[in-house]
Amino acid sequence: MGGTPIHPSVYPPPSLSPLEAVNKLGLCKTLESPPSPPTLPHHCLPPPSKLPLPIQTLLLLFMLLKGAREMACPPSLAESLACPFTTPAPEMPSPPNDGEDQGASPVNGPSVGSYQSSGKRKVHTKKKKGTITANVAGTKYEIVRIVINEMDFIKARDDDETANLIWNDSAVQHEKIAELRNYQRINHFPGMGEICRKDCLARNMSKMIKCQPQEYSFIPKTWIFPAEYTQFQNYVKELRRKRKQKTFIVKPANGAMGHGISLIRNCEKLPAQEHFIVQEYLDKPFLMEGYKFDLRIYILVTSCDPLRIFLYNDGLVRMGTEKYHAPSEANLSQLYMHLTNYSVNKHNENFERDETVDKGSKRSISWFTEFLRTNDYDVAKFWGDELVVKTLIVAEPHVLHAYRMCRPGQPPGSDSVCFEVLGFDIILDRKLKPWLLEINRAPSFGTDQKIDYDVKKGVLLNALKLLNIRASDKKRNLAQQKAEAQRRLYGHGSMKKLSAASSDWEKQRHTLERRREELKERLAQVRKQISREEHEKQHLGNY
Amino acid at 420: E
In a domain, 332, yes or no: yes
pLDDT value at residue 454: 95
Q: How far apart are CA 83 and CA 55, in angstroms?
A: 15
- All residue ranges of the chain with pLDDT < 70 are 1-129, 258, 384, 412-413, 487-488, 490-500
DSSP 3-state of 365: helix
Q: How far apart are CA 462 and CA 539, in angstroms?
A: 7
Going by C-alpha positions, the residue among 192, 184, 193, 188 that lies closest to residue 410 is 184
Distance set, CA 413 to CA 303, 473, 482 (Å): 9, 16, 21
pLDDT value at residue 186: 97
Q: For the chain, what is the radius of gyration of the CA atoms?
A: 41
| Sheet containing strand 222-225, strands side by side | 222-225, 276-280, 248-252, 262-264
Residue 467 shares a structural domain with residue 346: yes
Q: How far apart are CA 454 and CA 330, in angstroms?
A: 39
pTM for the complete prediction? 0.71
Helices (H) then strands (E): counts for the chain: 16, 13
Distance set, CA 478 to CA 166, 183, 527 (Å): 19, 9, 21
Amino acid at 430: R
Residue 388: give its domain's CATH number: 3.30.470.20
Of 93, 126, 153, the residue that ends a domain is 93
pLDDT value at residue 64: 57
DSSP 3-state of 457: helix
Residue 81 shares a structural domain with residue 211: no
> Does residue 456 contact residue 465 with C-beta atoms inside 8 Å?
no
In a domain, 435, yes or no: yes
In a domain, 172, yes or no: no
Q: What is the pLDDT of residues 98-107, one digit of tens each?
A: 443 333 333 3
In a domain, 493, yes or no: no
Going by C-alpha positions, the residue among 325, 321, 319, 327 that lies closest to residue 347 is 321
Cβ atoms within 10 Å, residue 492: 8
For residue 344, give its domain range. 193-220+282-472
pLDDT value at residue 522: 78
Structural domains of the chain, count: 2
Residue 329 shares a structural domain with residue 442: yes
Residue 68 shares a structural domain with residue 210: no
In a domain, 517, yes or no: no
Q: How far apart are CA 425 and CA 341, in angstroms?
A: 10
Strand pairing category for 222-225 and 362-364:
unpaired
In a domain, 271, yes or no: no
Which residues lie closer than 8 Å to 102 by C-beta, 6 or more apart?
none
Going by C-alpha positions, the residue among 346, 428, 335 that lies closest to residue 381 is 428
Q: How far apart are CA 124 and CA 112, in angstroms?
A: 14
pLDDT value at residue 402: 96
Phi-psi region of 425 (alpha: psi -120 to 50; beta: other; left: phi over 0): beta
Torsion of Cα atoms, 517 then 522 then 528 then 533, to 10° = -170
In a domain, 270, yes or no: no
Q: What is the pLDDT of residues 139-158, one digit of tens each?
A: 999 999 999 999 999 999 99
Strand pairing category for 222-225 and 185-186:
unpaired
- Which residues sit opposite 363 in a β-bridge? 317
DSSP secondary structure string for all residues of 468-523: T--THHHHHHHHHHHHHHHHHHH-SSSPPPPPTT--HHHHHHHHHHHHHHHHHHHH
Amino acid at 60: L
Of 93, 115, 137, the residue that ends a domain is 93
Which residues lie closer than 8 Å to 253 by C-beta, 6 or more apart?
197, 198, 199, 224, 275, 276, 277
Of 472, 500, 516, the residue that ends a domain is 472
DSSP state, 114?
G
Q: How far apart are CA 279 and CA 263, in angstroms?
A: 10
Torsion of Cα atoms, 163 then 167 then 171 then 177, to 10° = 20
In a domain, 125, yes or no: no
